[in-house]
């Protein structure tokens, strides 16, 4: 009887040890996954923040054509960085969590969709006629509405990677350390900047999300974040 009890106790200890070892192994794999993503995401995040900061600038006396060209470059940068973030998550593979493959695939799909959306928004912006300021402002407003939706899509994609143990692993990585979520100035305060010409200066700005959108009131700002898209519609 005593031998039987000792055997059962030993078996229990072995199972417990196995569970701890497995847990430690999974944690190491998650850390490796997070490092892969965050190292590759560091430059795209910085570039996204730069594009958002530029789109929020007020440049006195800027002609509509120059504004159009500048915002077009910002949208091109946002399309590129969303694609790079999607590639980083795709290359890292599925994280070792429940439904890890689905979490990864959904995030990659949304980031790629956002990237294509920014490209489409850029084409729409480039096609606007800038000789009539009223029509140009209306066109920018329409582009801005699309970009707000793309910003939310990017935010959702990146937020999905930052919950539970996966989020804990990402928080440890220097490449994903939170930085300024939005530039100071009108463009990030909900009132898009307006140039001296009367044309909106940030109607078409946006970025992949808190990483690309603002964090909800009362919630923590995600670590994997590129900033917040200005909210609100530009006015003439």
Distance of CA 111 to the CA centre of its chain: 8
What is the C-alpha separation between 132 and 144, in angstroms, rounded?
Answer: 18
**Residue 83 to residues 26, 32, 77, 130: CA-CA distances in angstroms?**
28, 22, 10, 29
Highest-confidence range of 5-9, 93-97, 219-223, by mean pLDDT? 93-97
Q: Quote the tokens at residue 218.
A: 């009362």
- Residue 81, pLDDT above cutoff 90: yes
Do residues 90 and 33 touch, judged by C-beta distance below 8 A? no
Segments making up each domain of the chain, as ranges = 32-236
- Residue 68, pLDDT above cutoff 70: yes
Nearest Cα neighbor of 145 from 113, 112, 121, 116 is 121
Can you give the pTM of this predicted structure? 0.73
Q: What is the pLDDT of residues 186-234, one digit of tens each?
A: 333 233 333 433 344 444 333 333 333 333 333 444 667 666 565 443 4
Residue 148: the pLDDT is 82
Nearest Cα neighbor of 179 from 36, 48, 77 is 48
Q: Quote the tokens at residue 212.
A: 């690309």
Q: What is the pLDDT of residues 126-152, one digit of tens each?
A: 999 999 989 999 999 998 888 888 888
What is the C-alpha separation between 206 and 78, in angstroms, rounded?
Answer: 8
């Amino acid at each position: 009887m005593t031998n039987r009890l000792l055997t059962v106790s030993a078996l229990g200890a072995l199972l417990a040890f196995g569970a701890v070892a497995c847990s430690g192994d999974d944690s190491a794999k998650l850390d490796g996954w997070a490092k892969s993503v965050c190292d590759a995401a560091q430059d795209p995040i910085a570039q996204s923040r730069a594009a958002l900061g530029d789109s929020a600038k007020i440049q006195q006396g800027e002609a509509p054509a120059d504004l159009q060209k500048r915002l077009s470059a910002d949208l091109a940068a946002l399309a590129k960085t969303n694609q790079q973030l999607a590639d980083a998550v795709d290359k890292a593979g599925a994280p070792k969590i429940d439904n890890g493959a689905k979490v990864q695939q959904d995030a990659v799909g949304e980031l790629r969709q956002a990237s294509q959306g920014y490209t489409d928004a850029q084409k729409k912006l480039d096609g606007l006629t800038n000789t009539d300021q009223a029509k140009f402002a209306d066109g920018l407003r329409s582009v801005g509405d699309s970009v707000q939706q793309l910003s939310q899509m990017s935010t959702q994609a990146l937020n999905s990677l930052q919950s539970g143990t996966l989020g804990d692993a990402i928080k440890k990585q220097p490449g994903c350390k939170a930085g300024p979520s939005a530039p100071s100035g009108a463009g990030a305060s909900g009132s898009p900047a307006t140039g001296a010409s009367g044309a909106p200066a940030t109607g078409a700005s946006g970025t992949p999300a808190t990483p690309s959108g603002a964090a909800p009131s009362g919630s923590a700002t995600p670590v994997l974040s590129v900033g917040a898209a200005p909210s609100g519609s530009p006015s003439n």
